[in-house]
Chains A and B, each alone.
Chain A
Amino acid sequence: MKTYQISRRKFLRGVGVTLTLPLLDAMLPRVFAAEAKAGPPRRMLCIDATLGLHAENLFPKQTGRDYEMTPYLKVIEEFRNDFTIFSGLSHPEVDGSHSSVSSFLTAAPHPAAASFKNTISLDQLALEKLIPDTRFTSLQLTSGKGGKGLSYSRSGVMIPADDSPAKLFRRLFINGTPDEVQTQMQRLKQGESVLDTVLGEARKLQSEIGPRDREKLDQYFTSVREVEKRLHKSEEWAQRPKPVVDAKPPVDIPNPADVVGRTRAMFSLIRLALQTDSTRLITMNLEGHNLVPPIEGVSVDWHNLSHHGQDPDKLAQLRIIELEQMKLLASLLGELRQSREEGGTLLDHTTVLFASNLGNASSHDTKNMPVIVAGGGFKHGQHLAFDPQKNPPLCNLYVQLLQRLGVEADQFASSKAAGIPGFSA
């Protein structure tokens, strides 16, 4: 037993470089080819406003390029040629009211069903295909509390989201003292030894259980091997200095009701993380809640307002909150567009998906989702409308977002086509 373990460790350590080489080989041609053509890396940011956006204030009446601005789009009017608004899209068979958040980036059917099992999310699939060589392969963020995120691993497990901008800033940009780096290195190395031992234990267990349980245990093997790789990579990154940014470390806003303040802090970090190429894939849960947001003119809790039942007073208050969300989007787009990099702006190289899992929050309806795509080098400026009765799958659009990142994909989850007619790069 002992000899075996040491030889395995030696293998990992000694051959560590060669071990990662096949991966590098696999990714080099694609990434390099893409980068050679397009310059800076391509990124994707997916945001879900989980309590919806009141359709009447959002969707234009006209389609095509010459649509008239609506109250919500008015807020981002200065980006008119940098975004496209889609109506009449949704995930087929994704119902289940608020549970549909879980399927926002995965399109897994019936999220409220007792037997629901989620599938891989758009960003994680891109990550698997591209294996970006960045300090963080992806980031999951939330404006709420409790770590509910939008990203799901291949086995359908939610990746918890960060809710503290202060902690995230530290991880992204603050270098540890030499002692701290040393301790971290030790823990990482110890982690590798521990994983060696438990893999041996898993092999033992494997021989003692039935075939169906062995299938289940496969997740354990896959996870441990993946974490081994990550620990190895973390060791490399732990020794490289972090990027220097000209920004003050953010202070966390503890009030969970303050969705505007908390989202704004995250949005600023998103720009910094993308600009420094610390990551290329970010998902952000703009999480609704049942508290009263501290915004002038709002006196009823948000979730309650989303169930307005056509009550005019509630609709008015809801509009105030949703306009604030649109303003946040406007300032994010502004920051991305102001950051120039080789070959254009950061916005040109970042696809921003801003949408909601609910089409009509008042009735928990998941059809006709509000969807805005900005940046990413697409040709924008239109309202693309589809049949409100028979929505085409939103995943048709997701395929295009994947392709834009450089993923060779012609299908994702429930997609029926590899794109949306009238929408192109």
Chain B
Amino acid sequence: MVKQYGFDFDPARCVQCHACEMACKTLHSAERGVRWRRVVGIWSGTFPAIANRSVSFSCVHCGNPPCVAACPQGAIRKRPEDGIVVVDQEKCFGCHLCLMACPFGVPQFGANGKMQKCDLCVDLVTQGKEPACVATCPAEALRFGTLQELSEEATRRSVRRIAEKSDTAR
């Protein structure tokens, strides 16, 4: 594979505003009840030591996608040029085996019974643009790039945080 694109999500920055969900939904005209990207909030703690954290989740375009292996029709494929996992609705007959195989519950099914999911905004990405969710996030919690780029950035971010903490500790 030439490169593998992916998302990076920083839960420390997510403010649970759902802008990413809306940007995705409106770009892809997702129907009622279907959300290619989902923001989920989780409470923890007991009063008054309470926290709420949120996660923005869509397809992660696995390196070795269980959905691709599970599909009896070969309707799902991982693109060799960029690693984006896409479904061909012409071939899909809605058996839901991909949903059973996906550890994250990503595949969804709309009115036509066929599978649909995040396609990493392949149309935008092939034009050199960012996915809609990444572009809109007001807190810059979502990033996009090759896994190599994302890994380097995550390392830089963590190093910065560790350095700041040790600065404060001194």
Q: Do A and B come from one complex?
A: no
Chain B contact residues, CB within 8 Å of chain A: none
Residues of A within 8 A of B (CB): none
